[in-house]
Amino acid sequence: PQTIYLKDYTPPAWLVEDVHLTFRLAAKTTRVISRIRFAPNPDRVDQTFFLHGEDLVLISSHIDGVAVTPTITEEGLSCDVPDGPFTWEAEVEISPATNTALEGLYMSSGMYCTQCEAEGFRKITYYPDRPDVMAPFTVRIESDLPVMLSNGNPVAEGEGWAEWHDPWKKPSYLFALVAGDLVNHPDRFTTMSGRDVELNIWVRPGDLHKCAFGMEALKKSMKWDEDVYGREYDLDIFNIVAVDDFNMGAMENKGLNIFNSSAVLASPETSTDANFERIEAIIAHEYFHNWTGNRITCRDWFQLCLKEGLTVYRDSQFTSDMRSAPVKRISDVIDLRARQFPEDQGPLSHPVRPERFQEINNFYTATVYEKGAEVIGMLKRLVGDEAYAKALDLYFERHDGDAATIEDWLRVFEDATGRDLTQFKRWYSQSGTPRLKVTEDWAAADDASRPPSRDLADNPEAPDQVRGGGTPSGTYTLTFEQHTPEGSGQTEKEPQVLPIAVGLLGPNGDEVLATTLLEMTQAKQSFEFTGLSARPIPSILREFSAPVVLERETSADKRAFLLAHDTDPFNRWEAGRQLARDGLIAMIRNGSPADDRWLEGMSRVVRDDTADPAFRALMLSLPAESELAQALHEQGTTPDPDAIWQARETVAQQLAETLQDALPRLQAEMTVEGAYSPDAGPAGRRALAGKLLGLTTRLDGGAQAARQYTHADNMTLQLTALACLIRSGRGEDALAAFYNRWKDDRLVIDKWFMLQIAEADPARAADVAKTLTEHPDFDLKNPNRFRATMGALAMNHAGFHRADGDGYALLADWLIRLDALNPQTTARMCSVFQAWRRYDADRQALMRQNLERIAAKSDLSRDTAEMVGRILG
């Protein structure tokens, strides 16, 4: 397969002035008739006329009304064309009913729908399918289905047809079409300038009761983008459609967002608090794309982070405003460490703006999205809120209607702030997670006149900054050293610009220096703090101000001190997390008992009724098994998945015993009375109650969980109880009852599949997963069901890594089967093997063998071939 490079970008030879498409829908023989007005690009470097096209049957083609015979290959067609503007017309035939890749035009539960990002439009008709070719689209749909939708505004309709016009020029990846027997949940929104917008969520008839929450989330998003970014919606109508078979979460097609039904449909009976929060965030994300992605799009796919990093950043701001900012930040960091760090520290590492790819679908990654959002957050922290707002205004003003680049984005910040961002740009080009080492030094008041301490003497540069001051007093120095390990073909890594938010606490726990931003730009750099009467305890990297691994030799006592006193909620949580992590690692490596300071700290935190219950729930969560495996690996110990699992069990059991007396009272306090609400307040109480129920289950064998399961009147309580019952080995009856209750609800049955695998005893997880693949409801073609089964197996760390290799073999078997149907979902799931080199020789051999078995499959997709190739290295 061919590798495509960022450095090879050339402008399109031909631009599109106008597109007219007619769809004659038929399951296996849809006709697509295109009429496209082309004009030469004044910036072109060559004149080649090439249209992308895949899996199309060309029926006829004309240029300015004259039949032509183009040269057709697997990738598209080329043709002799006039020197100046001309009209291209073509008729092609496609087969939506047999399109199992879910890319292009396909069918899902009887409806027609599309997914064109990144390169799906070329499976619909011949077109310059690249994001820097933008045009207004007019679309006519012909079918006997009652609902026919496309982008933009409806312009006309009649018996068996409907016509839509999108006045905003857009790239083909934002094209969308939906037709089906659908019903809508309608609403309206008046924009800040008084435009009245019709809103709809379209679903299959049985799902109409699951739309209200998504609609509220949409209206909140529209309002928030006006209030915070000054961005107004720009069409008369905004449609969302729920689709059951979908590779991603959702898609921001102009005026016609298409959602995986799991990312929009919600009801208290069928959705958990976590589902509600995720749905709100995804609706916001896709809506925010209307400006960051659609009005300003990407010049080429290497610039994907331009829209995704920024839009993830925007949706995280939104969630912080709607809910709790500290809880959102902690949750985001947990996610970043669970998904992005392993990616950036393994064979799939790539820069936030990749420089090469074979299949762009493989780069919709945690690095592009989540690290991309971290980069925006750092930029905002460095320039300040006001300058950020000014730069964003300039970005929208200067680039509206453009297909832009990261260079454009950074130039806006340079122009708005006068700052040189040359070094900062490394965050886009350099892969890997920087490691940041900290050492500290203290010179008491009476030796303030002595020469700089040893740490400083080592440093050729004088310390950068002096803080505080006034009366002669002690000087405290923090020295940072940053280093990014080599990876993704980059051997020489340069220092990054690191915004390091620091606070200092006095020995009595009072804050003696409020959060202060240190700007690190060198490989090694010292910062001095004066005006201190006693040696402070530092709180470093508050709010996780940079996506780095902080390496700090510090005592458990100091961590316990920060856990008790830090004013920064993130670092308070972090101190508890580090204590837990260090304790677990000591237990795994030397059989040490659980750390009393952690147990005491947890006891205090969980009872602290001044703290948000959602925050307390996060405090009680132990580091994931995969996170511990990575930590052990970094410390030179080969991780043993069974030992990791056992250590977490032991520690959780001890925590339960430590909190035993307090549990009944705390649980009673967290009970939520009255009608269910998915708001942050009650959801946080349920989250803490759920953690407490997990602990109680370790003491009562599941008696309370069984009662909760029976009486639960919402999915959060029901599913929490079910998980506890499965973990305690008493899940069988409840699982059977759950299935009977919910067998007609696909989204709930996904939970049923997932939970029993993810929560299974590791020794049995692969067997449970295998049995479920034989269940009549297992459906290889439905990505949600596939992820609920195989993704859940991978989530069960010790179960997936079972020593006999059955977990690996089962997953590989199914990936081989799925690749023939759906390359995109197959390729993405291959990443569960990415950390294979971190395990023991036997497991490594088993994983390699299974990866090679996938690689050897005949007709392996380009998607999967690239992923397996990169993982094997």
Nearer to ligand DPP, 248 or 501 (CB): 248
Nearer to Zn ion, 308 or 627 (CB): 308
Q: Which stretch binds ligand DPP (CB under 6 A): 250-258, 395-403, 821-829, 865-873?
A: 250-258
CA–CA dist 290, 293 (Å, integer) = 6
CA–CA dist 18, 446 (Å, integer) = 78
Map the footprint of ligand DPP across residues 113-172, applying CB under 6 A. Answer: 117
Distant-in-sequence, close-in-space partners of 735: CB < 8 Å, separation ≥ 6: 722, 726, 752, 756
Question: Is residue 103 near ligand DPP by the rule CB under 6 A?
Answer: no
Q: At 432, phi and psi to the nearest 5?
A: 95, 155
Binding characters for Zn ion, 287-326, by CB under 5 A (x = yes)? ---------------------x--x---------------
- The one of Zn ion, ligand DPP, none whose footprint includes residue 443, by CB under 5 to 8 A per kind, is none
CA–CA dist 215, 239 (Å, integer) = 10
Nearer to Zn ion, 308 or 612 (CB): 308
Question: Is the alpha carbon torsion for 696, 698, 703, 705 positive or negative?
Answer: positive
- The one of ligand DPP, Zn ion, none whose footprint includes residue 353, by CB under 5 to 8 A per kind, is none
CA–CA dist 600, 584 (Å, integer) = 15
- The one of ligand DPP, Zn ion, none whose footprint includes residue 344, by CB under 5 to 8 A per kind, is none
CA–CA dist 350, 429 (Å, integer) = 9
Nearer to ligand DPP, 285 or 572 (CB): 285
- Smallest gap, in angstroms, from Cβ of residue 252 to ligand DPP? 5
Cα 657 to Cα 599, 654, 663: the distances in Å are 10, 5, 10
* Contact pick of 250, 263, 497, 502 for ligand DPP (by CB under 6 A): 250
Question: Is residue 248 near ligand DPP by the rule CB under 6 A?
Answer: yes
> Locate tokens 């490079």: which residue?
5
- Smallest gap, in angstroms, from Cβ of residue 745 to ligand DPP? 24
Binding characters for ligand DPP, 192-231, by CB under 6 A (x = yes)? ----------------------------------------
Which tokens hold the place of 122? Answer: 């070329």
DSSP β-bridge partners for residue 31: 24, 93
Cis-peptide into 118, omega within 30 deg: yes
- The one of Zn ion, ligand DPP, none whose footprint includes residue 670, by CB under 5 to 8 A per kind, is none
- Smallest gap, in angstroms, from Cβ of residue 463 to ligand DPP? 43
The size of the interface with ligand DPP (CB under 6 A), counted in residues, is 8
State the residue number with the nearest CB to ligand DPP: 251
The size of the interface with Zn ion (CB under 5 A), counted in residues, is 2
Nearer to ligand DPP, 54 or 117 (CB): 117
Which tokens hold the place of 494? Answer: 């340069």
Closest CA to 456 of 441, 468, 470, 446: 441
- The one of ligand DPP, Zn ion, none whose footprint includes residue 251, by CB under 5 to 8 A per kind, is ligand DPP
Nearer to ligand DPP, 290 or 431 (CB): 290
CA–CA dist 720, 704 (Å, integer) = 11
Closest CA to 814 of 844, 845, 778: 778
Q: Which stretch binds ligand DPP (CB under 6 A): 31-39, 246-254, 585-593, 616-624?
A: 246-254
* Contact pick of 103, 129, 132, 252 for ligand DPP (by CB under 6 A): 252
Which tokens hold the place of 132? Answer: 């820097």
Can you spell out the DSSP letters for 495-521? PPPEEEEEEEE-TTS-EEEEEEEEEE-
Nearer to ligand DPP, 142 or 308 (CB): 308
Nearer to ligand DPP, 285 or 686 (CB): 285
- Smallest gap, in angstroms, from Cβ of residue 417 to ligand DPP? 28
Map the footprint of ligand DPP across residues 292-351, applying CB under 6 A. Answer: 308
Residue pair 549/309 in contact by the 8 Å Cβ criterion: no
CA–CA dist 659, 650 (Å, integer) = 14
- The one of ligand DPP, Zn ion, none whose footprint includes residue 248, by CB under 5 to 8 A per kind, is ligand DPP
- The one of ligand DPP, Zn ion, none whose footprint includes residue 117, by CB under 5 to 8 A per kind, is ligand DPP
CA–CA dist 340, 549 (Å, integer) = 12
CA–CA dist 88, 90 (Å, integer) = 7
Catalytic residues: 286
**For the chain, how long is the longest CA-to-CA vector?**
94
Binding site for ligand DPP (CB under 6 A): 117, 248, 250-252, 285-286, 308
Binding site for Zn ion (CB under 5 A): 308, 311
